[in-house]
Structure 1
Amino acid sequence: MFHNLWLKIKGVLIKMGLINAVQNVLSTSDLIIDSNFYSKISEWQNIYAGEDDIKSWQDVTGKIHRRKRMSLKMAKVISKKMSTLVFNEKARILISEKGDAENDDNIDKSQANQFVKGVLEDNYFYHNFGTRLEYMFSGGGLAIRTYVKDGKVKIRFATADSFLPISQDENGVSECAIISKFAKSGKYYTLVELHTEDDSNYLVQNRLFESDNNSDELGTEIPLTTIYGDSLKEISKYPKSSYSRPTFVYLKPNLANNFDPSSPLGISIYANAVDTLDELDQAYDMLMQELVMGRRRIVAPDWMMIRNTDPRTGKKKAYVDFEEEVYQSYYSDISSPNAPQKPEDVTLGLRTQEITQTINTLLDYLCGQTGFSVGSFTYTAAQGVETATGVISRNSDTYQSKRDHETIIEDGLKKMIISILELGKAAGIYQGSTDVDISINFDDSIAQDRTENAKYFQLMNGNAPLMPQKEAIKRANDLTDSEAEDWYSQIKEENSQGDMADILDDNKDGDQDETPTMGN
């Protein structure tokens, strides 16, 4: 227990020491955040990682017992759930140059959209970003860094504990340092990527430090070529005449930072539910121990469990099979008048129902503290933690939280796309305009039951159709306008015999006994 606790504290001290060392060595302006805040970030990350918590106790003989406490790992569950609700691979990003016709087919084929689409696919963005959002919700922030390498625009990410804000403006963090620490060949290295700006340029400076141990010291500065060869420049300049913003973006959950209101950094989605998460793990551990302690037990005095000596082996043989683990013996004097006369079943009754009810009550508390609707998570003995599959209405807490987080994430993605276009333009790998309109569809279908919503709004509309047929075809099958037009024409041709109203009208004038037939 104390060993694990020391490792956690040591990790926080190393991180805080590195922060102070970066500030001193690089002679930067004061960080606009208290370095102690990173102890909170480390705490949230440890909870997300589900690091083992060791329980210990001392018995009457003085012996110390230790075991790992069981955990539901709900920090992981809620971070994953919210990241999936906000962004998934069905999300769609469209970029159109100013003046383009408002037509999805034209937009999809535009030079700007094709370039960004290629960059996102080359970086496996739709897959990677969903995972990184999970880290954002757990740690409280995520940095996106764009750069050019080998003639391509690259995207990489940094978690909240590696991001140090230096200054901010009305658009958020404008200058920062990003720390990357790694080990190689028995040495420890720290790469510091410093993003600053002057009157004319956005600057990215890289400095590499080497140390013999994993301490809170940066160590000795060494040339970048030691590790990176010629692939990483010591300093890069991005003229403000060609770039409208820095080449990094910082995202955070749309939650007020009640731990440090002046900080530009965000907080974990469960930052204010740490106590509830601990109570949940205690209840779950109690439930698991209940199954162990509820195992059937039969006790009997030792003299009652031994038969006569086996004449073939010369050994005494027990009445029961101790491999079954249900029998336990104890010493008893058979000559005593109070000696027991038969084995006794001492199996304890299970309290699983009461403990499970407690877990579900705590899950409801957790939902309220993390922006989910009450009942979003339930626990059953058969399935463990289950996520609600019911309809998430537009006025539910879950839906509102999802939309709140999307507001900040959408703004961050738009900034990232502008950086991609400006980097491509400056590198000569993109020839189009950087003055574009950006549309991001987060795909609400994963959070809402479209059938139920359609029934509701159709009822409000007097059961009349809610959208043109061609639009329904386009949305249902994720088609462009021209593809939807083709599908609509084919469907209309296949049903050229007419609809039910036409058939009934024709039947009035014809043979009343003839059965009308529908088209294919």
Structure 2
Amino acid sequence: MGLVQTIKNFFTRSKYAMTTQSLASITEHPKIAISQDEYTRIQENVRYFAGRYDPVEYKDSNGNRQKREFNHLPIGRTAAKKIASLVFNEQAEIVLDDEVANEFINTTLKNDRFNKNFERYLESCLALGGMAMRPYVDGDRVRVAFVQAPVFLPLQSNTQDISSAAIITKTVKSEGQKNRYYTLIELHEWGADNRYTITNELYKSDNPSAVGARVPLAELYEGLQEVVSLNRLSRPLFTYLKPPGMNNKNINSPLGLSIFDNAKTTIDFINTTYDEFMWEVKMGQRRVAVPTQLLKTEYNQEGEKVFVRREFEAGQNVYEQFDSGDIDKGIGITDLTTPIRSDDYIKAINEGLSLFEMQIGVSAGMFTFDGKSMKTATEVVSENSDTYQMRNSIVTLVEQSLKELIVSILELAASYKLYTGKIPDMDAISINLDDGVFTDRHVELDYWTKVVAAGFAPREMAIEKVLNISKEEAKKISSSIDDEEVRSMTRQRSREDIDLYGE
């Protein structure tokens, strides 16, 4: 290390010594505007999403305390995955009216495998109550980082959106026989002169549950600047996406709720019932009462009874012993097996699933199946179905979020001279999420054909709605249709008509 760098490091350490602060929890940071209750709620959502439950403690027949795994159904994960797949898939298309911008965006997203990753992280967004997407420069290209709910915390917000936020990155580093836990806090803020700044703060702790004391960035991130300013941004570098609906847990919080935040008691009921059912099946194995005379008792050298060797059906655990006196006068071998209440448990679980469907806002029968009721195709694509309406609410937010992300990608690329074209307005961006699962294309085409024929809407609007494209693209297609109709009419005219009236 050179003398100049040593001097720089000395002054860097001195600066940190003057600004040292220690945090027990991330919510203690003076700039982070989130309550501990909100942060705890998000952590609880993670537990439900992952299916992490405490083991069950019980006493066995001998009075000894035992532990066993809690049997559960992945309700939270299943619901989030199912709804995410209905909203977005790899067939989704993004089209910009500007050809240069369209080529840049589609190349960038394709190289980053964005469509595949977005569907996966959308599942996390629905389960945990939100996520952020932040473009960043990696060499000579722009990539997209997905920031999940537990590590995205608001700094400043209004009633509609989050304008400043903190993004948390945790790292574990081994130093000798001990682990050091680092927390990088990336603060995205707007300055007084409307400049966008990113401030990086690094903290270190010996305890994984504590943030720790602030340390120099060079201790873990060599070359990372404390403050980075960007002056060509019209909006925050990140875009925040959350499920639709009001946060009724904290009406003043800008953060969203998980799709199952208001259904956790129902999830607990379903899992408790399922656990009891599985345990009853395990405990309901066949048991037979066997006279003691059919079993052999072992004794030690002192003459003390040690254990009973079960020689009746050796290798099986399906019998219990009892003393019947004279074997010839006793009751003999008796079946003690109790019937398993499978019908009652299955009915209770299905009732719980029906309640869960109502609470998260999907159509009845999405998670339950009784072997009798099957939805027809007409019911599935019905625009009155709860699932369809819920999907539409999420799609609207997803489309807006993707448009914001596209603008941020282009503005960031322009700041680093990776893109030199125009920054399009959001109206010039078209998102096609392919709702073919719900929409009957023939019915939709017939509807808009009748609307145009009745004079209630222009043809451009029908093209835009049916093909799900932007207004500009619809105008181009309409113009092409007009040109083709003119050429067709010209081909159908006779030579005499052309000579008389001209072309």
Q: Same fold per TM (> 0.5)?
A: yes
Match of 2:229 in 1: 237
Q: Identity percentage over the alignment?
A: 32
Q: Check whether the contact 1:356–1:379 (CA below 8 A) recurs between aligned residues.
A: no
Match of 1:257 in 2: 247
Match of 1:9 in 2: none
- Say yes or no: does 1:266 pair with 2:256: yes
- Say yes or no: does 1:324 pair with 2:331: no
Aligned residue runs from structure 1 range 4-153, under 5 A: 17-23=24-30, 28=31, 31-59=32-60, 61-97=62-98, 110-153=99-142
Letter in 1 for 2:227: I
TM-fit CA distance, 1:333: 5.1
Q: Check whether the contact 1:87–1:442 (CA below 8 A) recurs between aligned residues.
A: yes
Letter in 1 for 2:88: F
- Say yes or no: does 1:439 pair with 2:446: no
Which whole-Å CA distance do the structure 2 matches of 1:32 and 1:234 have between them?
21
TM-fit CA distance, 1:442: 1.2
Match of 1:7 in 2: none
Match of 1:205 in 2: 199
Letter in 1 for 2:187: L
Q: Check whether the contact 2:287–2:320 (CA below 8 A) recurs between aligned residues.
A: no
Letter in 1 for 2:260: Y
Unaligned runs of 5+ in 1: 1-15, 98-109, 308-315, 485-520
TM-fit CA distance, 1:59: 4.4
Match of 2:365 in 1: 375
Which whole-Å CA distance do the structure 2 matches of 1:288 and 1:387 have between them?
30
Match of 2:212 in 1: 218
Secondary structure of 1:184's partner?
strand
Question: TM-score, normalized by length of structure 2?
Answer: 0.76
Secondary structure of 1:428's partner?
coil
Q: Check whether the contact 1:377–1:388 (CA below 8 A) recurs between aligned residues.
A: no
TM-fit CA distance, 1:320: 3.6
Aligned residue runs from structure 1 range 164-175, under 5 A: 164-169=153-158, 172-175=161-164
Tell me how large the CA RMSD over aligned residues is: 3.4
Which whole-Å CA distance do the structure 2 matches of 1:329 and 1:387 have between them?
50
TM-fit CA distance, 1:221: 1.4
Which whole-Å CA distance do the structure 2 matches of 1:351 and 1:183 have between them?
49
Q: 1:215-244: per-residue Cα shift (whole Å, max 9, x none)?
A: 323323122x332323x33221111xx221
Which whole-Å CA distance do the structure 2 matches of 1:274 and 1:414 have between them?
33
TM-fit CA distance, 1:41: 0.9
Change (3 A) 1:459 1:163: closer
Which whole-Å CA distance do the structure 2 matches of 1:59 and 1:304 have between them?
26
TM-fit CA distance, 1:61: 4.2
Question: TM-score, normalized by length of structure 1?
Answer: 0.74
TM-fit CA distance, 1:158: 1.5
Aligned residue runs from structure 1 range 341-490, under 5 A: 341-378=331-368, 391-436=380-425, 437-446=428-437, 448=438, 450=440, 454=442
Which whole-Å CA distance do the structure 2 matches of 1:406 and 1:54 have between them?
39
Secondary structure of 2:168's partner?
strand
Q: 1:316-337: per-residue Cα shift (whole Å, max 9, x none)?
A: 99774232332x2324153499
Q: Check whether the contact 2:125–2:149 (CA below 8 A) recurs between aligned residues.
A: yes
Q: 1:443-501: per-residue Cα shift (whole Å, max 9, x none)?
A: 1123x263xx7469869999xx9x9xxx9xx97xxxx99xx9xxxxxxxxxxxxxxxxx
Change (3 A) 1:351 1:245: same
Unaligned runs of 5+ in 2: 1-22, 298-307, 454-458, 468-472, 478-503
Secondary structure of 1:33's partner?
coil
Letter in 2 for 1:445: G
